[in-house]
Chain A
Amino acid sequence: MSDLWRRCLERLESELSAEDVHTWLMPLQARDDEAGLQLFAPNPYTLDTVRERYLARIEAVLALLAGHALPVRLEVGSSAPRATPPGGKAAPAARAGVPGGAVAEPAAVPAAFPHNLDPHYTFETFVEGKSNQLGKAAAMQVAMNPGRAYNPLLLYGGTGLGKTHLMHAAGNLMRERNPHCKVMYLRSEQFVGAMIEALRTKNMDQFKQRFRSVDALLIDDIQFFAGKDTTQEEFFHTFNALFESKQQIILTCDRYPKEVDKLEPRLKSRLGWGLSVAIEPPDFETRAAILLSKAHDKGVAVGENVAMLLAKRIRSNVRDLEGALNTLAARANFYGKPITIDFAEETLRDLLATHAQAVTVPNIQKIVAEYFNIRLQDLLSKRRVRSLARPRQIAMALSKELTEHSLPEIGDAFGGRDHTTVLHACRTIKKLCETDTRMRQDWEQLIRVLTG
């Protein structure tokens, strides 16, 4: 760092609030030469603020320190151009000025085809369970036979359940089997950003060409296309072009696309042409297996008992499991202690409390009543009509599943019912979940709402 700038910054630190210094001045990098001082801002947002609020003062302090007036040039960039980080694109300067902060990489045609698949996401590192085995099988088939097996393949389900992992795994396998295969992965925001950029720079032809020249196009989280009409229009045409020439399309969505509001009907209908597979939240055994697998990858020693503790308490999604594991590993590492059950209980008290907090019997009753659109007092009443009895049984089974209460305690909480009634409810619902798709969806949706 320029010594002059360091001294200037020190002086400014004593005049301005610490927040302002760290927000606006610390990001600046300096280079001084005979022509004066050059300051590089990481982005136009910072540049504008510095110019407006601080430049005059910077010049004054520099003049004071240097003993004479010193021209200051301010621009977006970096004092020392760095090698692009792996998987990264676009230097800050190149990315500057893209509306919506979207990455401009697709617009900036490089010579070689830029592969941006995450190499860590493979089928080998994917932990399979009942909840995701269909999705995995479909993704593998598509990778073995791109453009022919299922087109498009649409993976849908809640956040943090492994959709993106499967999508990358399919792309990676395609490339492994055929190194010339051009696979392009994009988050939906990148597609939107690239399109806006192409419209702005009047490069639509290049944009179209770029997306249509791939062997497989992977777009993540297409629910964010909702309400963006121009994007949908363009995506619709890209889709048709790829589909007709049997190029593979893989998409993910946070729900069944027909349920996404503000998505064009003709697009929805095309999304249904191939195969749509739901990725469900992992069950207990899969959660424990995922935890052990991640621990192994990170080189963290975690016993099965600890994995089971976390799997029992954290049901929401895989990311929360990962967060818990990271948190445990950081603490164990710091204190130099092994991760025992007691250590896990102790260190994750805050984290686990967070996940356990919302789940109480009254809360379950309230949510279930709302879900089935019945009154809470009816749910708790003695009436036995099917429209009340079934939700009541679900609420009891959820109470057994999600809380630590005993069967008699749960019976009491449901208007003083016998514990055998609760047990019967649990068995009935379990059986129904295995045979009745609708029932299983309700059950999983309620678990998601209660633990998410």
Chain B
Amino acid sequence: MSRFARRHLRALEAYSRDELESLLITAASFKEISERNIKRVPTLRGKTVVSFFCEESTRTRVSFEIAAKRMSADFVSLSGAASSVKKGESLLDTTRNLDAMRPDIIILRHSSSGAAAFLAERVSCAIVNAGDGAHEHPTQALVDLLTISEHKPQLAGLTVAIVGDVIHSRVARSNLFALRTLGAQVRLVGPPTFLPPEASTWGEVHHDLREGVRDADVIMMLRVQLERQGRNFFPTIEEYARYFCLTEERVAAAKPDVIILHPGPMNRGVEIATDVADGPYSVIMNQVTNGIAVRMATMFLLVNRPSVEIELELEAARRSAAGEEVPA
């Protein structure tokens, strides 16, 4: 397995194929732990993980918490609403204070794009980006990639249609960057208000959902935030659904073995029809399950990797001192 040497998980844009694959392989190997009768391994015993969510979240925060606990980490959860950020303390000061308590990882969700990168340069612990504004949501994309890889022989060459509010979506960005690195063809589907002119540099742009998903291997739906209606990105939810709701009829244009993803939370009947969300092509619940393994792998690689390497080096040194043959 190739090495993963990053100190933080900030954004997938700069990740190489090797790095993405190490994350995915490690995640796949952790899946089995959650199927055991006793779902706990000592991998992160004695490590402290702080989740610091300055934005609402249910599934991501719970997913990180379960992942950390299944690896025996001490887990502390802090929400933005309860933190001193609410009292006017800056994000930087609050995070520095948390950092001074010597956690191993801070998991950050924040509404400002770049917040994770900003803090990563200013603290000593590892920062895991659990969503920064409209920028990236790397663990969600890793979840999606793991889920796709369980249904398709390889990611390279797949046609993936990403549908919906691309411009505001951190899930779209992380997926897009990683999918391109791994050799998939990406299509972007949605109204022009969600797809600025430069989006065409990212992939084929479609404003017709049926055409956008034609012969696709994977359809990745994005959540439409209902409040966009008030800002004139589309006239009404009803009209949005008329053109961009993924229905059985529209899915029929895709490949017969298409799979459908959604990062949640879903607006049933808006961007996705209920019978599609719950239908045979849907892998949405697999995504949620895979979330645990991906987050376990992420935390494991960030915290343990260096010491694993140091132990190997020490072992090699000991063997070499004892005149034993050092394995390559």
Partners in one complex: no
**Residues of B participating in the A interface, judged by any CB pair closer than 8 Å:** none
